[in-house]
Structure 1
Amino acid sequence: MTLPELLDVVSRAGLVIDGHLDLAYNAGVGRDLTLPLDELRSREGPGARDIATVTFGSLRAGRVAVCLGTLFAMPRTDTSPDGYTDADGAHAQALAQLNQYRRWQDAGHVRLLVPGAEVAAHLRAYARDPETTPLGVVLLMEGADPIRTPAELPSWVKQGVRVVGPSWRGTRYAGGTGVPGGLSAVGEELLDAMREHGVTLDASHLAEQSFWEAIERQPDVIASHSNARTRVPTDRHLTDDMLRAIGERGGVVGTVLYNGFLQAGWARGEARTLPQTVAAMLAHLADVAGWAHVGLGSDMDGGFGMREFPQGMDSAADLGRVADLVPADHRAGVRAGNWTRWLTRDRP
């Protein structure tokens, strides 16, 4: 099947691809994603700080066929006292999450995929049978501290990791959100190893200096879950020059749906943002990077809940509605086509 034929199949089936979900991390903090969403919400109670939005059932209801599923090790912070304090601790967290994905795969909830032919075959299968085909997961490491040395990268590749974001906050590899700076010496080694082994750079969370240094060493780049700094001025997001650079290199920018990343100044407890706010962010990303380089990177389970997402985005079942906010000619691309093109392209 040619790429145009595959894109037509994906579009006709109304499939969705999400560029960023923290599935295994959520399981690690006690969320059972195999439950129906209503039951999970009931168990967590009406007083839960974050009302659950993502389960395997809600993803299926939204026809989410593939996602980039993270290995995310949480460092120790004031709010996460059990987080890692060294590379061995980060490594252990990521391995535990990898094993969670494998258990889910054994139980038929997910299918771990390598970009390329495996993703293309999975999308065809999901389009034929969306009721029983499991969620396809391409592994993304968010924050590279679990890679204890760059020499370990091939072992992670062997286990399925094909995308790495060097930072979350700062790591020993690179500056990150709230921690400005460039690549460290070992960070330079890691980026060189990523290019050698065909591992894509995820620019989300990279400090600006680290971003420009990183794409010089590994120009195969995406932003799995980032918005435009022009609209929401924080170093968590990307400048127009950074967005443009990703588009020029053939990457995709996954739009984050958290209210505070869509509307400057929004704070928890305030009214949910309007769909028009999402539309404005998507339009800006497209004006800079091009519609062919804009997709979803919802981060819908990334420490937020239903109240922290725009009106009408109550769960993963609603993710496909985001595409309704863009011009008709680009809806299929934003819903899944642009990620499909990137995930199934020929790789070295």
Structure 2
Amino acid sequence: MGRRARVRRAVTTAALLAAAVMGSLATGCTARHDQAEDGRGGQGQTQEQPPTPAQSPRRAGPVLAVKIDNVAPARPQTGLNAADVVYAEQVEGGLSRLMAVYATTLPSVVGPVRSARESDLELLRQFDRPTLAFSGAQHKLLPLIDAAPLTAEPPDKKSAAYFRGSDRTAPHNLYLHPRRLLASAPGADALTTGFRFGPAPAGGRTETSRTVHYPAARFTFTWSARRHGWQVAMDGTPTVTTDGKQLTPPTVVVQHVTVRTSRLHDVLGNDTPYTETVGSGKAEVLRDGRVYDVTWKRPRAAAGTQFTTADGTPVGFARGQVWVVFTSER
């Protein structure tokens, strides 16, 4: 082979080797870039792959939860019809108390406001640092409230947000201006309850009235086709707010739970019931004039509550206010 041929072969071989090396480097850079973009390289994700819930930014602010008095001298209540969710729980002496949760609307006034209970802290863990409005609490409970992942706003911290009404006597006359605690309603995204809204499940049975009994209180829900909701009565009296509107939620949940004695008691020495809302059990969902036997499950305090039919299908609630009545009835 001549000298010129050997030179041409050497140049060609060098060029081929250079191209191969550059291709390998380019492939390696591309692979590392792809790994960085899709998260495998620890640098994030591509635009096509949305972030996981843990990485997603919070889009809503805190809900407002208000403890509301529910004995006869406290009725009619104010602002209860604007709540997105109303929880009913048993308290001392077999009486009942309400917790109203506001996310989509903040009424001008809510009340009468009463004291918190230990089981409220577990119930509120489903929300992202909710604001809790309450009149006070048993002194042994106060440190637990301070340590809970919420913003406690009793009158001694935000006196300007509260006022005493003149139409009834204390302690049934303490009212709240919600907008003095929250600048605006956070919106529906803040309702991390686990509730699903949509078509009713298959099956169910026709039922036009349902009553839930506590030792010294009772709730009755009567279906109104005209108003397309369940008219609420408490202790045999229709529940009408101070603006003259009868409460008629489209969905009512009767949730069977364990109600046990807590370590606390009231000023009269009555044991304070503790309502366990983490766990699982049976429930009835009332909507559209029918009742559906379902199962509820809340695996941990930071999770919402799932309601499913016997085959595991999630239960759809009707749009609008939801009442959840906790009961130990079996």
Instruction: Please report the TM-score for the alignment, with normalisation by the length of structure 2.
Output: 0.29
Higher Rg of the two aligned structures? 2
From the two aligned structures, give the one with the greater strand fraction. 2
Instruction: Please report the TM-score for the alignment, with normalisation by the length of structure 1.
Output: 0.28
From the two aligned structures, give the one with the greater helix fraction. 1
